[in-house]
Amino acid sequence: MEHAYTNRLIHESSPYLLQHAHNPVDWYPWVEEALQKAKTEGKLLLISIGYSSCHWCHVMEHESFEDTTVAAFMNEHFVNIKVDREERPDIDDVYMTACQLSSGGSCGWPLNSFALPDGRPVWAGTYFPKKKWLEILEYFRKTHAEEREKLVEYAGRLVEGVRDHGIDSIAADASMTFTEDDLHLVARQFKERVDPRMGGRRGAPKFPMPSNWEYIMHYAHRYDDTEAKELLLVTLDRMMMGGIYDQLEGGFSRYSTDANWLVPHFEKMLYDNCQLVSLYAKAYAWTGNTEYLELVRQTIDFVNTYWSDPSGGFYSSFDADSEGEEGKFYVWTKEELDALIPEGRDREIFYASNDILSNGNWEDKKNILQRHRRPEDIARQFDITVDEYHKIIAGIHQVLLKERKKRIAPGLDDKILTSWNGLMLQGLIDAYQATGEKSFLDRALQNAKFIAREMMHEDHRLDRNFKNGKSTINGFLDDYAITIQAFISLYQTTFDIQWLDHAKGLTEHVITHFDGDPSGFLYFTSDLDPPLIARRAEISDNVISSSNSIMARNLYVLGELLYEEKYTTRAKDMFAKIWPVIQRDGQPAFYANWCQLMLSIAQPPFEVAIVGKEYASLRDEMLKTYHPDAVFLGGADEGNLPLLEHKLSEGETLIYVCQNKACKRPTTLVSEAMALIQD
């Protein structure tokens, strides 16, 4: 295909950058050449950041970046840089923080930042329609030409704010003192902000926020809190039944725009789906709810079908749009459904279940499939059994799925990111632990071997990105933290010591190359990377937990498994730094993963050692039960872990339940070991 324009992004591998490779804008990727050009020509940098499945990124591209008039102005007066935020979260973090400081917090993607030639931001904003964008461009052109000192002054203040933002209130000498009452206060603050009818946080939009519900599940299990459990289950049920979940073939969208989980922002991200696989797998292990199990299987099938690379890695996302329209691939008019589903009782049941309306349950007479009525209620209404209901719905789903496959599918972002693959690895491990289904473990091992082979170097340095057979971009702290977490879990699932060895090697690399922040936390970027205008630490938990909270929990568990006090001490020190912030803010949902660490510190985990020839069957049986307060280790012999010393008994397989390295009397029975954990 002939293109009128081609810019430097044509040489990149990122699908997002390639989407802009034929814009008339003279885009650069983030390279030193671009910064040098801005210095040489005395121009401002215009740094535009987004990702391939971002709806408003596509809109702004079409309205402005594909417009020759807009492009000509940008090319004449600015040096223009395009960044894929998923490849370079460090750059995104710096300029997103600048946006939050300079634009009153109204920030999102696309993120458009104006900066001095050395990269210091002077202002940042998000999507703007063409007319407004031209006004902004002219303002900064004029200000740069006539009042350059003003921009330098802005930049100085903004950079200072970026460097301090998020860690300015952390005390260097913070001490970790919390009581049982504090634990319950944190949980109460969580519960107060939950929508008791629809689950999730009150109001709209609604994000799944898996780490919030992992914490609530852990707390409810530990303290037998009925209210917390009910809030968790209503959230899981409503998300599963809503439009945010693809009712035909699985997979969650990123969030719902309404308060009822009905209308999603239709992009599907790997990081959401793998974390939700973990969440629902653990919920199944705890409750035995087979609907959760079906969701886990269906979502893993979706990921394996559409996002699996032959290398063993997983792709990143599907766009929200197809054929230039958000959600077009997923929604149905009543006329379309009438033509596909024969008139009669089955159609009536399906329409009642999914709230199918002539004028649509969404905009433009479109219907989003969802099932916010319980199967039992529908079955009672139509005088059928629940099994008959499920059979009818499944049959219609097959008809609709066959028809949907004829549509033009949303665009695929096929880059493979180490951190997100680590999350999917964790999801597969959790699914296997809860079910014992070998296919989940086989896929987990395939992915773990891919990470070890393609993304990890002999010195345990990680790359972040894999595309076209090559790994690129030095890894960030989230790549290490999430991979370490998954490798620790894989060891506990297989007792294959190589994964624990890799976890320790990666941890030592982190301590060597990411340490040194005065706050006591770990930097997001390695000291091997060229510096940006600020080197920052990621602390608060979001849709993905912060790299520091994941790393702190890793250190705590590694300290237990390896009997390394320096690791557990570091984890406690990191929590001590964040605890005053959690107390001050009173919004623990922003520190949910830290709060799980708090639970572990309050009650040290049980160390479950299983040693002997039959270790695998006993381990697998125990893992099927939800055990957030236990770590597992063992094997056919004692290996080289200190906690396994003197635990082998010839001719039998023993289970030792220990706490603080003190072990209760060993048993050969899983039921007795489970009772010891629950004491």
pLDDT digits (tens, 9 = 90+) for 425-448: 999 999 999 999 999 999 999 999
Nearest one of 180, 199, 179, 198 to 190, comparing CA atoms? 199
**What average pLDDT does range 373-382 have in this prediction?**
93
256 neighbors 211 (Cβ within 8 angstroms): no
pLDDT of amino acid 350: 96
Residue count of the chain: 679
What is residue 167's predicted lDDT score, i.e. its pLDDT? Answer: 63
Tokens of 282: 């653990």
Instruction: Indicate the pLDDT class of residue 171, thresholds 50, 70 and 90.
Output: low
Per-residue pLDDT band for 468 (boundaries 50, 70, 90) equals very high
Q: CA-CA distance, 95 to 48, in Å (whole number)? A: 10
Output the CATH code of domain 8-164.
3.40.30.10
Q: What are the distances in angstroms from CA 527 to CA 294, 299, 513, 517? A: 44, 38, 5, 11
The pLDDT assigned to 324 comes to: 87
619 C-beta neighbours (distance < 10 Å), count: 23
Average pLDDT for residues 578-596, to the nearest whole number?
95
Q: Side chain identity at 438, as an amino acid letter?
A: K
Q: Among the listed ranges 39-53, 133-147, 161-175, 510-524, which one has the minimum average pLDDT value? A: 161-175
Residue 166, pLDDT score: 63
Cβ-Cβ contacts under 8 Å for 26 (sequence gap 6 or more): 7, 8, 71, 74, 75, 80
Judged against a pLDDT cut of 70, whether residue 168 lies above it is answered with no
Q: Give me 201's structure tokens.
A: 């946080």
* pLDDT for residue 174: 61
- For residue range 263-315, what is the model confidence (pLDDT) as tens digits? 999 999 999 999 999 999 999 999 999 999 999 999 999 999 999 999 999 99
pLDDT band at 115 (very low <50, low <70, confident <90, very high): very high
3 state SS of 51 = coil
Percent of the chain past pLDDT 70, that is, above it, reads 98
Q: Rounded mean pLDDT of the chain?
A: 95
pLDDT confidence bin for 164, thresholds 50/70/90: confident
Q: pLDDT at residue 175 above 70?
A: no
Q: Which residues of 379-391 are buried (b: 16+ CB within 10 A; e: fewer)?
A: beebeeeeeebee
Structure confidence at residue 104 (pLDDT): 72
What pLDDT is recorded for position 449?
Answer: 98
Residue 606 has what DSSP assignment? E
> What is the pLDDT averaged over residues 39-45?
97
pLDDT value at position 297? 98
Question: In sequence order, what are the beta bridge partners of 470?
Answer: 467
Q: Do domains 8-164 and 270-322+413-602 have the same CATH topology?
A: no
Output the DSSP codes for 147-203. Answer: -HHHHHHHHHHHHHHHHHTTTTT--TT------HHHHHHHHHHHHHTB-TTT-SBSS
pLDDT of residue 177: 83
The CATH number of the structural domain formed by 270-322+413-602 is 1.50.10.20
Instruction: Write the single-letter amino acid at 392.
Output: I
Report the DSSP pairing between strands 121-125 and 111-115. antiparallel
Confidence category of residue 222, pLDDT binned at 50, 70, 90 = very high
Residue 165 has pLDDT above 80, yes or no: no
Q: What residues does each domain of the chain span?
A: 8-164, 270-322+413-602, 330-406, 606-678
State residue 384's pLDDT score. Answer: 96
Name residue, tokens 């390394």: 564
Cα 289 to chain center, whole Å? 24
pLDDT the model gives residue 106: 76
What's the rounded Cα separation, in Å, for the pair 172 and 565?
A: 22
Cα(100)–Cα(105) distance, integer angstroms: 4
- Interval 441-469 mean pLDDT: 97
For residues 392-400, give the mean pLDDT: 97
User: What is d(CA 249, CA 633) in angstroms, rounded to the nearest whole number?
Assistant: 36
| pTM, two decimal places | 0.95
Is it the case that residue 172 has pLDDT exceeding 60?
Answer: no
Q: What is the mean pLDDT of residues 125-136?
A: 96
| C-alpha pair distances (Å), 98 with each of 11, 118, 122, 157 | 29, 15, 8, 10
Residue 517 has what pLDDT? 84
Beta strands in 262-385 (DSSP E): 264-265, 268-269, 317-318, 321-322, 325-326
Token duo for residue 645: 């010393």
Question: Residue 588 pLDDT more than 80?
Answer: yes
